[in-house]
Amino acid sequence: MAGLDDHVGELTVGVDVGGTKIQSVALRSEAIAGRHRLETPQSGAGDVAAAIVEAATKAVAEAGAGTADVRAVGIGVPGAIDTEAGTVSSSPNLPGFQDPEPVPLAELVSSALGEVPVRLDNDVRVGILGEWKRGAGRGYRHLMGVWVGTGVGGGLVLDGKIYQGRGAAGEIGHTIVKPGGRICSDGRFGHLEAYAGRAQMEAEARRRVKRGHRTDLFDIMRKKGRTRLSSGVWATALEKKDKMARDLVDDAVEALATALSSSQNLLAVEAIVVGGGLGDRLGAHFVERIEEGMKPLLFVPDAAPKMLTTEFGDLSGAVGAAVLTGG
Amino acid sequence: MAGLDDHVGELTVGVDVGGTKIQSVALRSEAIAGRHRLETPQSGAGDVAAAIVEAATKAVAEAGAGTADVRAVGIGVPGAIDTEAGTVSSSPNLPGFQDPEPVPLAELVSSALGEVPVRLDNDVRVGILGEWKRGAGRGYRHLMGVWVGTGVGGGLVLDGKIYQGRGAAGEIGHTIVKPGGRICSDGRFGHLEAYAGRAQMEAEARRRVKRGHRTDLFDIMRKKGRTRLSSGVWATALEKKDKMARDLVDDAVEALATALSSSQNLLAVEAIVVGGGLGDRLGAHFVERIEEGMKPLLFVPDAAPKMLTTEFGDLSGAVGAAVLTGG
In chain B the domains, ranked by start, together with CATH numbers, are: 4-127+316-324 (3.30.420.40), 139-310 (3.30.420.40)
State the pLDDT at residue B101: 86
The radius of gyration of chain B's CA atoms, rounded to the nearest angstrom, is: 19
Cβ atoms B273, B128 nearer than 8 A: yes
Q: Is the pLDDT of residue B302 over 50?
A: yes
Q: Is the pLDDT of residue B2 over 50?
A: no
Cβ atoms A211, A187 nearer than 8 A: no
Alpha-carbon gap: A174 to the closest alpha carbon of chain B (Å): 6
Q: What are phi and psi of A7, to 5 degrees?
A: -110, 130
- Is residue A37 helix, strand or coil? strand
State the pLDDT at residue A246: 98
Of B59-63, B98-102, B152-156, B304-308, the poorest mean pLDDT is in B98-102
Helices (H), B45-137: 45-62, 105-112, 123-134
Cβ atoms A54, A62 nearer than 8 A: no
**Tens digit of each residue's pLDDT (9 = 90 or more) over A193-203:** 999 999 999 99
Instruction: Please name the residue of chain A whose CA is at the shortest distance from the CA of residue B146.
Output: A266
Pairing of strands B271-275, B306-309: parallel
Tell if the CB–CB gap between A266 and B178 is shorter than 8 Å.
no
Q: Looking at this protein, which amino acid is placed at residue A81? A: I
State the pLDDT at residue A1: 47
Residue A273 vs residues A231, A280, A308, B24, B103: alpha-carbon distances, Å: 18, 10, 4, 44, 37
Rounded distance between C-alpha atoms, residue B149 and residue A186, angstroms: 34
**Tens digit of each residue's pLDDT (9 = 90 or more) over B62-87:** 999 999 999 999 999 988 888 899 99
State the pLDDT at residue B8: 66
State CA B105 to chain mean position distance: 18
Q: Looking at this protein, which amino acid is placed at residue A84? A: E
Cβ atoms A132, A157 nearer than 8 A: yes
- Is residue A279 helix, strand or coil? helix
Higher-confidence residue of A40 and A93: namely: A40
Compute the half-sphere exposure of residue B147: CA atoms within 13 Å on the CB side of its CA: 27
Q: Is the dihedral of CA B124, B128, B129, B131 positive or negative?
A: positive
Alpha-carbon gap: B11 to the closest alpha carbon of chain A (Å): 33
Rounded distance between C-alpha atoms, residue B171 and residue A263, angstroms: 9
Instruction: Please name the residue of chain B whose CA is at the shortest distance from the CA of residue A176.
Output: B262
Identify the band that residue A313 occupies on the pLDDT scale cut at 50, 70 and 90: very high
Cβ atoms B1, B107 nearer than 8 A: yes
Cβ atoms A52, A104 nearer than 8 A: no
The helix (H) or strand (E) run that includes residue B271 is strand B271-275
**Chain A residues contacting B, CB < 8 Å?**
142, 154, 156, 158-159, 161, 163-172, 174-179, 186, 188, 254, 258-259, 261-263, 265-270, 296-297, 299-300, 303
Find the CB nearest B268 among A167, A176, A254.
A167
Tell if the CB–CB gap between B171 and A265 is shorter than 8 Å.
yes
Tell if the CB–CB gap between A166 and B268 is shorter than 8 Å.
yes
**Tens digit of each residue's pLDDT (9 = 90 or more) over A86-130:** 999 888 778 888 777 899 999 999 999 999 999 999 999 999 999
CA-based nearest residue to A107, from A73, A79, A139, A140: A73
**Tens digit of each residue's pLDDT (9 = 90 or more) over B240-252:** 999 999 999 999 9
Q: How many CB atoms lie within 10 A of CB A221?
A: 21
The helix (H) or strand (E) run that includes residue A157 is strand A152-158
Rounded distance between C-alpha atoms, residue A87 and residue A108, angstroms: 10
CA-based nearest residue to B17, from B102, B74, B86, B87: B74
Q: A207 has which bridge partners?
A: none
Compute the half-sphere exposure of residue A184: CA atoms within 13 Å on the CB side of its CA: 29
Find the CB nearest A176 among B164, B261, B300.
B261
Q: Looking at this protein, which amino acid is placed at residue A153? A: G
The helix (H) or strand (E) run that includes residue B120 is strand B118-122
State the pLDDT at residue A7: 56
State the pLDDT at residue A185: 79
State the pLDDT at residue B300: 86
Tell if the CB–CB gap between A179 and B177 is shorter than 8 Å.
yes
Share in percent of chain A as helix, strand, coil (round to 5): 45, 25, 35
Q: Is the pLDDT of residue A327 over 90?
A: no
State the pLDDT at residue B165: 93
Tell if the CB–CB gap between B161 and A159 is shorter than 8 Å.
yes
Percent of chain A with pLDDT strictly greater than 70: 98
**Tens digit of each residue's pLDDT (9 = 90 or more) over A145-170:** 999 998 899 999 999 999 999 987 99
Complex-level ipTM beyond the 0.90 threshold: no
Cβ atoms A174, A154 nearer than 8 A: no
Mean pLDDT to the nearest integer, B295-323: 94
State the pLDDT at residue A2: 46
Rounded distance between C-alpha atoms, residue A123 and residue A117, angstroms: 18
Of A1-10, B82-91, B101-110, the poorest mean pLDDT is in A1-10
Tell if the CB–CB gap between A158 and B174 is shorter than 8 Å.
no
Residue A156 vs residues A136, B57, B133, B209: alpha-carbon distances, Å: 14, 45, 25, 45
Q: What is the mean pLDDT of chain A?
A: 93
How many beta-carbon contacts under 8 Å exist across A and B? 123
**Tens digit of each residue's pLDDT (9 = 90 or more) over A208-234:** 999 999 999 999 999 999 999 999 999
State the pLDDT at residue A6: 52
Instruction: Please name the residue of chain B whose CA is at the shortest distance from the CA of residue A265.
Output: B171
Q: Looking at this protein, which amino acid is placed at residue A131? A: E
Q: Looking at this protein, which amino acid is placed at residue B282? A: L
The radius of gyration of chain A's CA atoms, rounded to the nearest angstrom, is: 19
Q: What is the mean pLDDT of chain B?
A: 93
Mean pLDDT to the nearest integer, B264-280: 96
